[in-house]
Each structure stands twice: as C-alpha cells, then as structure tokens.
Amino acid sequence: MRDANKMIAALALALTVLHVVAHAQQTTGVTPSGALAANGQTSVSGSAATSSGGDAVTPAVSKWKFKTGGSVYSTPAIENGVAYFGSYDQHLYAIDSATGRELWKYKTGGRILGSPALAGGQVYFGSQDTRVYALDAATGKERWKFKAEYAVNSTPVVSGGVVYCAGTAGLLYAIDAETGRQRWQFSAEAGAPTSPLLAGSTLYVGSGRGLHAVDAATGQKKWTAKTARPVVSAPVGDGALVYFTSLDNQLHAVDAATGEQKWTFKTEGGLPFSPALAGGLVYFGGIDGNLYAVEAATGALRWKFAAEQGITSAPAVAGALLHFGSLKGLYTLDAATGQLKWAFTTERIVTSTPIVSGGLVYFGGWDGNLYAVK
C-alpha cells in the first residue's frame, strides 16, 4: 500500500509540475476532509536510527478557510492584518487575515499564479493576461498596469522604487514602482525566468539554461551558472552563497559573486520547488517524495523525511517548525530533527508555499481555498 501511495503521489506531483510549467487546464473536485494520515519516516544522517510519524499525531485546527473560484497557487503577502493573494479565478483578493473576511477583490484578464509583493502602500502582482499591476493596498484601486510580452507568473520583488518581475517570454523586467514605466529588460535566452532573488545590487534568476546573476541597476548580466536541466523555481541566498534547485535532480550552491559551484546535492527526482534557508540548513523537496535538510556550508545531509503523500510545494521555516504541502494536506516537521509534529488534511493538493504570520499558517490549494490553520 505504501508503494502504491508513493506512486500515486509521484504521479499527482508530476502533473502539478507540468501544470505550473506548461500552464495546463485546471481540474476541480472535492475529497473528504479529516486528519491527514501521519505516515512518514525520518532518516537521520550519521545514525542507523529511523523514526516513523505513526498515526497518533494530532491534526492542526482550522481557524478559517476562504473559498475562491479557482485554484490557489499564490502564497499570500500579509501586512497590517490583511492577506493579499491571487487565484485562478483571475482575481487578486484582500481579506482579513484573522477572520478570512473579504475586504476587496480586483479582477484581471487572466489567472494569477504568482504571489503579490507589498511596498509603499501598494500591492504589485502579475497575471497571465500579460500584465503587471500596481493597486492601492487599502482600496484595491488600480494605480497602473504594465504590458509584458507574455504571461507573468512570477512573484515581483520591489526595492528602491523599482519592481522586478519575470515574464514567460524569457524576459526579466525592471519597472518604475510609481509610474509603471519600464527601466530595462533582461533576456534569459531560454525558458521562462523564475521569480527573482535580490541580494545587494544583484538579481538572481533561474531559466532553462541555469542561474543568471544580473546587475539590478542596469540589467546587464554578471554571470551564468549552467545546469543540465531547467531551473524552474526561485533561488535563496545568504550573502556568500546562492542556493537553487533544478530539474537535473540537484540542489546547487554557487558563489554569489562569481557563480562558481561550491557543492551539489543529488536526489532521485527533479526538484521543481524553491529551497528554504534557515539556521545554517537548506531545506528542499521534490518528485522523489523526500524533504531534505542539508548543511548550507557543505551540502552534507542532516536528515530527510519521506512524505507518504508526496511533496507539492516549497517548504517554509518559521521558528522551530517547517511546513510544506502534500497530495492531501499540510505537513509540519521539527526543523532541527525532521520529526513530524502535526498534519492537516485539505480537500485537494496543497499548491502554494505556506507562510506563517500571527501564529497562523496560511496556504492555498487546488480546491480553491486559502486556509488558515494552527
């Protein structure tokens, strides 16, 4: 039964990845909700001991859920008690983060996959209608919209009065945050660029050729760290190193200044989700159904957790806990040991990266809900 569940989870995950990359048609449906079966096993590096999650893990408690008209891939941005997020129903929502009550919504002409960014009282986001939008965060009133060449599925980064956002035509844009006018664009040459990482004066963005480092002021390329397969999720960094996953089954660590490879960690499947970095560890998961924790400095394995229901989102670390999505809900692990702490069942696959704010974990799924659980 366990092998069968893994095969089902792997198939569902593969379909999810294809959906994100190719923007395929979304299906809908509902399955019963209850306590997620806490089947999972943690292997600890350097020790023969293994531990199973068992079936006695207490499920998390739902505080509220907010229903949209389409799947939710967008991780909410939360500020001043308001959660902002997009949906496949083409709307950007603003809801009360404590109660789930809708405050306003804004209709675009396409699905919204990426997460919004907040800066200076405005909310910035992209849509598959080929536009980047700036709205008043309090009212939802449109400030401006920028026309890209093709769909914009990435999450913007806003800094120094500039919005950096990638489109599916292989272009990374720098847009004036006040006027919506383009300052420059960078061609990633192959594939859709990932959401960018801004560190100092450099933007790091993945593409079909690997990871690019781009001057944030000019849009000029500094270097490229090539990979055998595409990079389809955003990198993370600690100032000295940049970490990114690839469909070549590897987590890569490169020098932030030069792009020189420092180490790699190989898994048994493609890695379509962004890593998370906290406490000297890099956390990441992929198609092989394992959530890994490795040393940020060396790439040495600290532990891995075999998720019975697969992995369908990037992980998120908040304090001592690590959260990630699966085929049937949310897993929460001890970030230091990889031991299962609690789990929560959803109606369908969790498709957005969780975020923790005010003691609640927020995440969305194929079922069209944004959840707040504790």
> pLDDT, tens digit, for every residue of 102-145?
999 999 999 999 999 999 999 999 999 999 999 999 999 999 99
Q: Is the pLDDT of residue 19 over 70?
A: no
Q: Report whether pLDDT(43) > 90.
A: no
Residue 363 near residue 349 (C-beta atoms within 8 A): no
Tell me, what's the pLDDT at 121?
98
Which pair of structure tokens corresponds to residue 11?
A: 């198939």
- pLDDT score, position 363: 98
pLDDT tens digits, one per residue of 258-299 = 999 999 999 999 999 999 999 999 999 999 999 999 999 999
Q: Cα(first)–Cα(last) distance of the chain, in Å?
A: 30
pLDDT of residue 169: 86
Furthest C-alpha separation in the chain:
59
State residue 40's pLDDT score. 58
**Structure confidence at residue 3 (pLDDT):** 53
pLDDT of residue 44: 57
One-letter amino acid of 48: A
List domains and CATH numbers for the chain.
2-373 (2.130.10.10)
Strand runs labelled E in 219-300: 221-226, 236-237, 241-245, 250-255, 261-266, 276-278, 281-285, 290-295
Task: Report residue 151: phi and psi, to 5°.
Answer: -55, 150
What residue spans of the chain are helical by DSSP H? 2-22
Question: Is-contact 320 334, C-beta < 8 A?
Answer: yes
- Tell me which of 11 and 284 has the higher pLDDT: 284
- Percent of the chain whose pLDDT exceeds 90: 81
pLDDT at 334: 98
In the structure, what pLDDT confidence band is assigned to residue 51 with cuts at 50, 70 and 90? very low
Question: Which pLDDT score, from 0 to 100, does residue 22 have?
Answer: 37
223 forms beta bridges with 213
pLDDT at 11 over 70: no
Asked if residue 47 has pLDDT above 70, the reply is no
Q: What is the pLDDT of residue 32?
A: 26
* The token pair that represents 4 in the structure block: 């069968």
The region of weakest confidence among 10-14, 92-96, 194-198 is 10-14
pLDDT at 234 over 90: yes
For residue 161, the 8-state DSSP code is T
Lowest model confidence (mean pLDDT) among 21-30, 56-65, 325-334: 21-30
**pLDDT tens-place string over residues 174-211:** 999 999 999 999 999 777 889 999 999 999 999 998 99
Q: Are 193 and 166 in contact (CB under 8 A)?
A: yes
**CA nearest 164: which of 117, 211, 97?**
117
Q: pLDDT category, 26, cuts 50, 70, 90? A: very low
- What single DSSP character describes residue 264? E
pLDDT of residue 31: 24
**pLDDT at residue 242, rounded to an integer:** 98
Three-class DSSP category at 7? helix
Residue 25 tokens, joined: 């048609």
pLDDT at residue 190, rounded to an integer: 76
